[in-house]
Chain A
Amino acid sequence: MPTERKKPEFWKMMKNFWQTTNWESNLKVPLAAIGFGLLVGGVFVLTIGKNPIDVYLAIWKAMFGSPRAFLDVIGQATPLVFTGLAVAFAFRTGMFNIGAEGQFTMGMLVAGIAGIKLHWLPGPVLMVVCLAAGTLAGGLWAAIPGWLKAKRGVHEVINSIMMNYIALYVTNTLVLSAWLRDPGYQATYEVPRKALIRNFMGTTANWGITLAVVAVIVVYFLLWRTKLGYEIRATGHNPHAAQYAGINVPKRLLGAFVVSGLLAGLGGAVQTLGVKRRVFQLFGFTGVGLDGIAVSLIGRNHPVGVALAALLYGTLYRASASIQLSTGVPKQVVGIIQACIIFFIAADEIVRYLLKRAARKGESA
């Protein structure tokens, strides 16, 4: 009976996962950091004479206030899952992909161009082509700093920041050119309706979320179950030992950076097809790639953690829009809360210390 033989194997795997996960640093510390972040943010609310409880309620409502609210959170979180995964993946090889922003932007742009220029293709084919084109664009955009890092040793942070600016201005130049611009709009023509990703109840949430979930699973398996993942993690933890083990370190660095860019690019493509429908002129960075860094950090560079952190960020995004209306507290408070959370995550030793002290107090009381 094959099902009976499978079962213990599966349980062993789950037990293994449970035992090898460092729950203290992967779950307790981020959760406590979020709690401290909310608390400190509340202090700021108090200083302007408002009630922090109202703010917390507004955040809660932003997520669970109504089905539409919840869907909107999902919609806000979806692109962050992709850019968060992109940053986390590169981080596993010891590299900092600050360029997810540019790769995401290129994904949006190229998916849009493909949709507009190849409009004669049948719907499902066009959708797939758009997604693939955006994904590849992100990958290529990452390949440039990746190659420079792997072969020439140029620091990836500097290069990928520069690539962010190039992506921004390339987008604006093309969007406003006669080739793409829809007269009367600061944007391109619309991508044909047949290629768009369906949304849920007219919110920003769309079927792209399924791609995000698939990406989470694929990244997890890629990192912890495959030969490539083994090599990538070895390179990230200890490049000397990786070289000794016969791993081609420059090749792995480049490969990981490209995979990172593919993820961000796919996120951009989903954003165009699922939410924006056309590529708009940008007045600055979209912020999705940059917040991907924070999402990756809060998610401890783990795919599942990234997905949860993206949901948190989605909630805060949405809360910042409604908070001013419902409580009269300036929406910048949400920015303060975000910053406090990141502060406590980065300073995890402080959180550990606070947790330990709380535990000791509990014992003596």
Chain B
Amino acid sequence: MSTPVPFVEMRGIVKRFPGVVANDNIDLDIHRGEIHALLGENGAGKSTLMNILYGLYKPDAGEIRIDGQVVHFSGPNMAIRHGIGMVHQHFMLVEPFTVAENIILGNEPRQGMKLDRRQAIAKVEELSKKYNLHVDPHARIADISVGMQQRVEILKALYRGAELLILDEPTAVLTPQEADELIVTMRQLVAAGKSIIFISHKLKEVLRSCDKVTVIRRGKKITTLPTAGASMNELAALMVGRDVQLTVSKTPATPGDPVLKVENLQALNNRGLPALRDVSFTVRAGEIVGIAGVEGNGQTELVECISGLRSATSGRIEVNGQQVANLPPRQVQEAGVAHIPQDRQKHGLVLDFTVAENIIMRKYFQPPFCQGLFIHQRVTDEYADKLVAKYDVRTPSVQTLARSLSGGNQQKVIVAREIEQNPDLLIAAQPTRGLDVGAIEFIHNQLLQQRDAGKAILLVSLELDEIMALADRILVMYEGQIVGELSDAEATEEKIGLLMVGEQRKGGDTVAN
């Protein structure tokens, strides 16, 4: 079989940073009309490789060929001219500008000195129709959904003549429904002759949406294989370098006495609108209760109310029989609540503190850490060393700033700190968001161990898989209410999915929206 010349060939790419070889002699071929996944753990070197292809970094060795011709990129502009477009994980859009303005920015159709608005909108509409990417050219970026913002980014690249689109973790910011739409879009693009590089560490998505997958581990290319016939376990093992347990094995729960009781809880969101409407539920010792739902249906506010970060307008929250609603966080903590917050960089860590300082964040005011006015350094360091070893946090030392750890290790610091409080109730809000398989496995096992040690665990997650794998009971939140409860035996993805979009409660109402 004579294979045509690949659209992009990367040969022997080497990139070193002080102390690490980020890319070690990597080869990568991308053909026209294929979706090629780049799979690897956080820090494996995927982003470095793509930044080289996009002209942001210069490789220390190796070459890039496009249609068989060797090219040297001095910057993204040259990469764009050769038909390479990139959609970054964090969008690069000007919020107060309209969709059309963002797409044409930097390459505007002109009429003399003036911007030709009419032509701009016409061009955007034409592109949008051609690739079936629905956007409203007149809408302002600040007003549209994340899914549409992503389509704007893709259109921006297409407008500049991209033949190859690099999508960096594109589904990380999307709801499951939006992710499905994106995959349809990707299929249409490759059908029109474009190529796509899909950067991800989510195995399921890669298998579902891509044609080929290249696995990178610690800067080295491990293999490239077609996704047809590959299994999740096989890919996970290639990615991590050892066998990974993808499905947690768990024994049936043996729930004890109620630890957390929430009754008729009401609260407002940051904009002063009702976020929680009459929420009531119980979590018992020795069980994991999972809260499923599409982002923004009150889960954040619920967790903040229970942990003392947000005030409730009415209702009761009891921990071990003690009323804790509207108490300050310190008193909630003393009532026996630990909290792994959903945003680890906003609430969970002080990034400019050392690992040790972050580890004592819940205990710094108690002996033996605090003696009189002073914080005891040696005791702190020894305690931090102990936890770093126990929870396998990869850090050069406990004096390293939390900022310089990878996401997975940052999360391990938080998990270690919260579990070591020995709480009665552990709230885990999106505990594995953005983490790779190895770290997810570790954190899931920790949560199950805590359950088996008789703790009550409230798990809030947007990942349905996570909820279904861990929870003994599943509550579904929709528009600030709990719209359904399922035991883990009766839960199916479909049943939860319907509840998540409010189908069962409201019937046809939501479809009309």
Of B270-278, B328-336, B460-468, the one contacting chain A is B328-336
CB-CB under 8 A from A244, the residues of chain B are: 307, 309, 329, 339, 341, 347-348
Q: CB-defined interface of B360-392 with A at 8 Å, one 1/0 digit per residue? A: 011011000010011101100000000000000
- Judge if B243 is at the interface, Cβ distance under 8 Å: no
Given the interface pairs A237-B351, A245-B329, the reply to whether A16 lies near B399 with Cβ below 8 Å is yes
In the complex, what distance in Å separates the CA atom of A227 from the CA atom of B357?
11
In the complex, residue of chain A having the shortest beta-carbon distance to the beta carbon of B370: A227
CB contact between A19 and one of B309, B378, B399 (< 8 Å): that residue? B399
Cα distance A16–B378 when bound, in Å?
Answer: 11
A230→B376 CA distance, assembly (Å): 12
Q: Are B373 and A226 in contact (CB under 8 A)?
A: yes
Q: Which of A16, A228, A244 counts the most B-chain CB atoms under 10 A from its CB?
A: A244
The minimal Cβ–Cβ distance linking A356 to chain B, given in whole angstroms, is 13
A233-B353, A238-B346, A244-B348 in contact; A227/B328 too (CB < 8 A)? no
Check: B349 CB closer than 8 A to any chain A CB.
yes
Query: Out of A230, A241, A246, which one reaches B346, CB within 8 Å?
Result: A241
Question: How far is it, in angstroms, between the C-alpha of A111 and the C-alpha of B358 when the chains are bound?
Answer: 42
Which listed residue, A9, A228, A245, touches B361 by the CB 8 Å rule? Answer: A245
Query: Pick the contact of B364 from A20, A227, A240, A248 — CB < 8 Å?
Result: A227
Residue tally, chain A, CB below 8 Å to B: 23
From A9, A16, A228, A237, contact of B353 by CB (8 A): A237
- Determine whether B350 belongs to the interface, using a CB cutoff of 8 Å to chain A: yes
Report chain B residues within 8 Å CB of A233: 350, 353
Q: How many angstroms from the CA of A145 to the CA of B361 in the assembled complex? A: 29
User: In residues 222-265 of chain A, which contact B (Cβ within 8 Å)?
Assistant: 225-230, 233-234, 237-238, 240-246, 248
Query: How many residue-residue contacts, CB under 8 A, span A and B?
Result: 68
B257 at the A interface (CB under 8 A): no
Contact call B329/A230, Cβ cutoff below 8 A: no
Q: Is B126 an interface residue when CB atoms closer than 8 A count as contact?
A: no
CA distance A101 to B208 in the complex (A): 65
Which A residues are CB-close (under 8 A) to B185? none
CB pair B399–A246 under 8 Å, yes or no, is: no
Q: Nearest Cβ in chain A — how far from B60, in angstroms?
A: 16
Q: Is the CB of A227 within 8 A of B348?
A: no
Of A9, A13, A227, A248, most B-chain CB atoms within 10 Å = A227
Which residues from A are CB-within-8-Å of B307? 244
> Among B341, B361, B373, which residue has its beta carbon within 8 angstroms of that of A227?
B373
Q: What residue of chain B has the Cβ atom nearest to residue A225's Cβ?
A: B374
C-alpha gap A238/B344 in the complex (Å)? 12
In the complex, are the beta carbons of B352 and A240 less than 8 A apart? no
Say yes or no for B354: interface residue by CB 8 A criterion.
yes
User: Smallest CB–CB gap between B159 and chain A, Å?
Assistant: 32
Q: Give chain A nearest CB distance to B417 CB in angstroms.
A: 10
Q: Chain A contacts of B354 at CB under 8 A? A: 20
Partner pick for B375 among A19, A225, A237, A246, CB 8 A cutoff? A225
Which residues of B are found within 8 Å of A241, using beta-carbon distances? 346-350, 361
A238 touches B361 (CB 8 A): no
Residues B353 and A234 in contact, CB atoms below 8 Å apart: yes
Report B-chain residues with C-beta under 8 Å of the C-beta of A16. Answer: 377, 399
**Nearest Cβ on chain B to A363's Cβ, whole angstroms:** 15
Chain B residue numbers with a CB within 8 Å of A237 are 350-353
Report which A residues bind B (CB closer than 8 A). 9, 13, 16, 19-20, 225-230, 233-234, 237-238, 240-246, 248
User: Which 3 residue pairs are nearest across A and B when measured between Cβ atoms?
Assistant: A246-B330, A244-B347, A237-B352
- Residues in chain B within 8 A of chain A (CB atoms): 307, 309, 328-330, 333, 339, 341, 346-354, 357, 361-362, 364-365, 370, 373-375, 377-378, 399
**Extra pairs beyond A225-B377, A243-B347, A245-B364 (4, CB < 8 Å):** A225-B375, A240-B347, A241-B348, A244-B341
26 contacts between A and B (CB under 8 A): A9-B378, A19-B399, A225-B375, A225-B377, A227-B365, A227-B375, A230-B364, A233-B350, A234-B353, A237-B350, A237-B351, A237-B352, A238-B349, A238-B352, A241-B349, A242-B350, A243-B309, A243-B329, A243-B347, A244-B309, A244-B348, A245-B329, A245-B362, A246-B333, A246-B365, A248-B328
